Amino acid sequence: MNNPFAGDHSSIQRRETAARWLLRLGSYVVVLTTVAIFAFITVKGLPHAVKPGFLTELTSTLHVIESKDGKVFKTNPVEADVIKKRLGEGFQSEKTISYSGGGILGPIVGTALLVVVSVSVALFLGVCCAIYLSEYAKKGKFIEMVRLAILNLAGVPSVVFGLFGLGAFVLTAPVLTGTPADRAIFVIPLGFTNLSFQGWDTCVLSGGFTLAFVILPVIITASEQCLQAVPQGFRETSMALGATRWQTIWRSVLPFATPGILTSTILGIARAAGETAPIMFTAALAFKDKLPWQKDLPPLPADAGMFAHWEQSVQRFLGIFTESVQALPYHIYTLAAKIPQNEYSEQAQYGSVFVFLVLVASLAATSIWLRIHLRKKYKW
């Protein structure tokens, strides 16, 4: 007797099975490709990334000195002259490879500063915009146009954001100064000083604000969806007990939307850390021999008081954000495209890429951990 519940081996079922296996195969290809890329970068970059000083020294020119007896010395510009003098007549040849010596402390610090500024700006603006769209805005054509503009902003090429940052922040942003620059578009006298629209030049602030607009669509869209996912009953109950609209949002909606907002923020950090074109126009340098807080300031007199020292410390701190910096994406681009390729530049390339991949993977792992941890804390 035939089983009435047995599956029907019809052509529809065969097509369904074929589609399922095709989708599964596509998923496997994506996973295997990702694993293969990470494995290749690990094999090529890990040996160089774990070398002493690679994460703690500034970038420098690599000097490769070869002696007549076949010995090879890899060193920095300062020690190269010492080695050549010590070799004397035994010196045979010297090769210099730009940006391939020392370490990547400068690019790591610059990337961190750019990410901190961009995420601080984008998180504030993005959450405010998401709250308005989700909780205050009335449905209509204008709001739909705003949402469409946000989605279109997410598809703008990063080089366009770079040009926007160059014009808006590097050349035009307002500055309080007593002596406006000649290039200022216009100046507003304030009595005690002037508001000069002369830009911030290429610095951390310009790059951070530009990157903020790159990741802003992601944060707005994800935050709005997280706010809308909170049950409407939470709002109705809170307002029925006498809470205002803002108290309801602050106490009854935002805490439960926070896990998704933070997850989208950390994914935005990963994108901001990997952008190259925007920071090329607004913040990054190929080489810098000092960290941002090592800016030279005039020495204070011997009898300077505590206030003078405090003022100089504040000036040094604020000066961090007005300095140009190195950044890992631009450093990798410079190593790969701007200098002649050889075994030494290749080692620096893959070492930098490996460190960068580890940072991005760490950010992704952090977002997953935050999501799990906060979802356990806020349940409904």
Inside any domain, residue 18: no
Question: Which of these three, 42, 71, 102, is where a domain ends?
Answer: 102
- Do 90 and 71 fall within a single domain? yes
Structural domain harbouring 92: 59-102
Residues 214 and 227 in one domain: yes
Residues 133 and 263 grouped into a single domain? yes
Same domain (yes/no): 65, 182: no
Q: Taking CA 86 as the corner, what is the angle to CA 84 and CA 87, rounded to the nearest 5 degrees?
A: 65
Residue 207 is assigned to a structural domain of this protein? yes
- Is residue 263 domain-resident? yes
> Do 85 and 182 belong together in one domain?
no
**Whether residues 193 and 226 fall in one domain:** yes
Is residue 300 a part of any domain in this protein?
no
CATH of the domain at 133: 1.10.3720.10
User: Which stretches does DSSP call E strand in the chain?
Assistant: 59-67, 72-75, 91-102, 174-177, 187-189, 194-197
Helix H, strand E, coil C: the string for the chain is: CCCCCCCCCCHHHHHHHHHHHHHHHHHHHHHHHHHHHHHHHHHHHHHHHCCCCCCCCCEEEEEEEEECCCCEEEECHHHHHHHHHHHHHHEEEEEEEEEEEECCHHHHHHHHHHHHHHHHHHHHHHHHHHHHHHHHCCCCHHHHHHHHHHHHHHCCCHHHHHHHHHHHHHCCCEEEECCCCCCCCCEEECCCCEEEECCCCCCHHHHHHHHHHHHHHHHHHHHHHHHHHCCHHHHHHHHHCCCCHHHHHHHHHHHHHHHHHHHHHHHHHHHHHHCCHHHHHHCECCCCCCCHHHCCCCCCCCCCCHHHHHHHHHHHHHHHHHCCECCHHHHHHHHHHCCCCCHHHHHHHHHHHHHHHHHHHHHHHHHHHHHHHHHHHCCC
- Average pLDDT per consecutive 10 residues, the chain (380 residues; last block may be shorter): 58 84 94 92 89 85 82 80 80 81 87 90 91 87 88 87 90 85 83 84 91 90 88 88 88 85 80 85 84 75 70 78 88 85 84 89 79 69
- Identify the pLDDT of residue 93: 80
Give pLDDT, residue 8. Answer: 55
Whether 78 and 187 map to the same domain: the answer is no
Q: Does 179 lie in the same domain as 69?
A: no
Is 266 found in the same domain as 175?
yes
In a domain, 31, yes or no: no
Q: In the chain, how many domains are there? A: 2
Residues 173 and 205 in one domain: yes
Q: Is residue 154 part of a domain?
A: yes
Say whether both 230 and 273 belong to one domain.
yes
Domain presence at residue 109: yes
Q: Are residues 115 and 95 in the same domain?
A: no
- Residue 46 belongs to some domain of the structure: no
